[in-house]
Amino acid sequence: MARWQPNASERLVLAALELFEERGYENTTVIEIAERAGLTKSTFFRHFPDKREVLFGGDTMAGLLVRGIAEAPATATPLEAVANALDAVGREAFTPDRREFGARRQAVIAAHPELQEREALKGLGLTASMTDALRRRGVPGLTAYVAAALGALALKIAYERWSDTTDGDDFGEVARRTLGDLHAATALC
C-alpha cells in the first residue's frame, strides 16, 4: 500500500457504504473498510473517529452552514441567512453527482438504529452551529434557535427529497422550497 494516495476520505466513505450495504453495519469492521479502500486502519482513523462517522462528513457540513450564514447579506433575515447556508451546502456538498450516493446512504441509515441515532445527534450539532452563527450576526437567542432548528429540519427533509428523486432540481432549490414549506407550516400552528 502506498503511504499517501489521493481522495483517501472519499474512498473510505464509498468503501464503508458498499460494505454496509453488502454485510450490514454491525458486521463491518474499520479494518475491512480500510482494506476495501486500499488504505490502512491508521489512515481511517486520521479521517474519522469511528465507523459511525464515516457516513456523516465530520465537521464539513457544520462548517459549510456556518460559512453560508456568515456570508449572507447583512440585510438578510435569520431565515434568509439559513437559506443562504442551505444554498452553500447544495453548491459544495450535495452536487448532482452525489444524488445516487445520497439515496444509498439514506437506505443504510434507515436500516441501522445506531446510524439513525448518529444522524439525530448530528442534526442537533448542526442546529447548535447554525444558532451560534446567527447569534454572531446579532440575532437574539430564541429567534436564532428557532431559525436554526427550522434550517436543520429543512436540511434533513430536503436531503431525503433530493436524494429520493430523479428530477433535475438541485439541492439548493429543494432546500429553499422545503424551508418555505416549513415556514408556512409554522404559521398554521
Looking at the structure, tell me whether residues 22 and 93 fall in a common domain: no
Asked if the structure places residue 1 within a domain, the reply is no
Structure confidence at residue 166 (pLDDT): 67
Query: The domain spanning residue 32 has which CATH number?
Result: 1.10.10.60
CATH code for position 72: 1.10.357.10
> What is the rounded CA–CA span in Å between residue 132 and residue 112?
31
Report how many domains make up the chain.
Answer: 2
Q: Is residue 28 part of a domain?
A: yes
Task: Tell me, yes or no, whether 42 and 60 share the same domain.
Answer: no
Percent helix, percent strand, percent coil in the chain, to nearest 5: 75, 0, 25
The verdict on 69 and 14 lying in the same domain is no
Rounded average pLDDT per 10-residue block, the chain, 189 residues: 68 95 94 95 92 80 94 96 93 84 90 92 94 98 96 92 77 90 86
Task: Supply the pLDDT for residue 2.
Answer: 47
In this structure, the answer to whether residues 130 and 41 fall within a common structural domain is no
Tell me, yes or no, whether 3 lies in a domain. no
Q: Do residues 69 and 139 both lie within one domain?
A: yes
Q: Are residues 79 and 103 in the same domain?
A: yes
Structural domain of 13: 8-54
Do the domain assignments include residue 2? no
In terms of domains, do 136 and 115 share one? yes
Reported for 1-6, long-range contacts at CB under 8 A and 24+ positions apart, including other chains, are 1/38, 1/39, 1/40, 5/38, 5/39
Whole-number pLDDT of residue 99: 84
Q: Given this model, what pLDDT does residue 188 score?
A: 80
* 34 and 93 both lie in a single domain: no
